[in-house]
């Protein structure tokens, strides 16, 4: 399915403006396309107990399952001014489960496969009885 990257980037930036980030002041928005064409979003949510912060990509994956599940095929992560961000290490792992190694992640140089950002990932095939 065709991915409208300009629309995904704009939606990620727009969603970032809704983030709750009073401590770091870094508002982050994530927009993703699902295999069936659905478009989903997430934003970061911080807490006075700093370690409880939820990243934008975690909200995105929650939105995936809350809206019917499936596989994410493309993700853009942006700040409100439209700057591109790369998912943190934990979020790369979370996105791997939701989209697999071929999931396209937007970068400043254009989309790359998640496998390039998280090579040799630990997945369910590494669990006993799941290989």
**Judged by CB, which is closer to ligand THU: 26, or 39?**
26
Residue 33, strand partner residues: 39, 74
Does the footprint of ligand THU cover residue 91 (CB under 6 A)? Answer: yes
Would residue 57 show up in a list of annotated catalytic residues for this protein?
A: yes
* Joined tokens for residue 58: 């975690």
Q: Which of 8, 11, 28, 105 binds ligand THU (CB under 6 A)?
A: 28
What 3-state class would DSSP assign to 10? helix
What 3-state class would DSSP assign to 17? coil
**Judged by CB, which is closer to ligand THU: 51, or 128?**
51
Residue 71 CB, nearest approach to ligand THU (Å) = 20
Task: Give the separation between CA 32 and CA 47, rounded to whole angstroms.
Answer: 24
**Judged by CB, which is closer to ligand THU: 81, or 126?**
81
Q: Give the interface size with ligand THU as a residue count (CB under 6 A).
A: 13
Q: Is the backbone of residue 120 left (phi > 0), alpha (psi -120 to 50) or beta?
A: left
């Amino acid at each position: 399915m065709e991915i409208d990257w300009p629309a995904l980037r704009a939606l990620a930036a727009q969603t970032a403006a809704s983030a709750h980030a009073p401590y770091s002041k870094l508002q982050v928005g994530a927009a993703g396309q699902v295999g069936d064409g659905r478009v989903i979003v997430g934003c970061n949510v911080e807490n006075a107990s700093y370690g409880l912060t939820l990243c934008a990509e975690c909200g995105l994956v929650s939105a995936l399952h809350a809206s019917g599940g499936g596989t994410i095929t493309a993700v853009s992560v942006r700040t409100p001014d439209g700057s591109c961000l790369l998912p943190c290490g934990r979020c790369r792992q979370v996105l791997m489960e939701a989209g697999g190694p071929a999931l396209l992640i937007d970068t400043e140089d254009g989309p790359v496969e998640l496998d390039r950002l998280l090579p040799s990932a630990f997945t369910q095939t590494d669990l006993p009885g799941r290989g």
